[in-house]
């Protein structure tokens, strides 16, 4: 009877150890059920688009009384002298300048307008979001030639509980495809082969390790 009890205990312990090893490997191993993120992604000629929270310097040539710095409101619109409100979000500075010229043309002869973005937030659709086990989860403004390493430096790296090699990128600009990335190899081991190009709208998800 005692031999049978010992045998059952040994079997139970073996199962617990096996499950623990499986869970540990699940928390640390690289995602194999998803394709790896492309290392380099051509983005073409990227042009910054205005977003809510940006600060704009609207300059009207030879009309300093109409020139001013204005914030882009949460609804994506701006107001300026002789321009009650106009949609700015999602437009380039040149596109907005032309729209302001059309509005001012009702009151001023041949206005020439320049719009300069002086504080950058960008539209939500182009921000990079980092969620999960980053030291400082946050959203980041996309910048030309931004890489995964740039993102990890900005968010302060991984927490002690991060399963970095099981992290994923949800690429909204690529039909919401999901890719595997190797953050632990990149951040902890300095393996630059794990570095990839980021795209506007990417969402980086860093899961928690089971151990």
Instruction: Indicate the SS3 state at residue 157.
Output: coil
Other beta carbons within 10 Å of 41 = 14
pLDDT at 25 over 60: no
Which residue in 48, 46, 62, 55 sits closest to 94, CA to CA?
48
Out of 17-21, 73-77, 104-108, 150-154, which region has the weakest mean confidence (pLDDT)? 17-21
Q: What is the DSSP letter of 106?
A: T
Instruction: Indicate the SS3 state at residue 145.
Output: coil
Q: Report the distance separating Cα 53 and Cα 199, nearest Å.
A: 21
Q: Report the distance separating Cα 148 and Cα 187, nearest Å.
A: 10
So where are the chain's domains? Answer: 55-119, 127-211
Average pLDDT, stretch 129-156? 96
In the block, tokens 């949609």 appear at 87
pTM of the model: 0.78
Task: Give residue 7's pLDDT.
Answer: 52
Superfamily of domain 55-119: wza like domain (3.30.1950.10)
Superfamily of domain 127-211: Outer membrane lipoprotein wza domain like (3.10.560.10)
Categorize the per-residue pLDDT at 100 as very low, low, confident or very high, splitting at 50, 70 and 90. very high
């Amino acid at each position: 009877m005692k031999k049978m009890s010992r045998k059952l205990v040994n079997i139970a312990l073996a199962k617990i150890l096996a499950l623990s090893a499986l869970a540990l490997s699940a928390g640390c191993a690289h995602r194999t059920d998803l394709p790896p993120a492309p290392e380099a992604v051509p983005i073409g000629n990227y042009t910054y688009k205005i977003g809510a929270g940006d600060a704009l310097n609207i300059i009207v040539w030879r009309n300093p009384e109409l020139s001013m710095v204005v914030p882009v409101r949460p609804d994506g619109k701006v107001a300026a002298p002789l321009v009650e409100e106009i949609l700015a979000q999602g437009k380039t500075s040149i596109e907005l300048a032309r729209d302001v010229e059309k509005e001012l043309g009702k009151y001023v002869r041949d206005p020439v307008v320049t719009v300069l973005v002086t504080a950058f937030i960008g539209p939500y659709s182009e921000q990079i979001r980092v969620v999960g086990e980053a030291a400082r989860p946050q959203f980041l403004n996309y910048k030309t030639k931004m890489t995964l390493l740039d993102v990890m430096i900005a968010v302060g790296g991984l927490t002690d509980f991060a399963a970095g090699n099981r992290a994923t990128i949800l690429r909204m600009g690529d039909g919401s495809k999901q890719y595997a990335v190797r953050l632990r190899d990149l951040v902890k081991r300095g393996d630059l082969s794990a570095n990839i190009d980021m795209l506007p709208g990417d969402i980086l998800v860093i899961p928690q390790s089971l151990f």
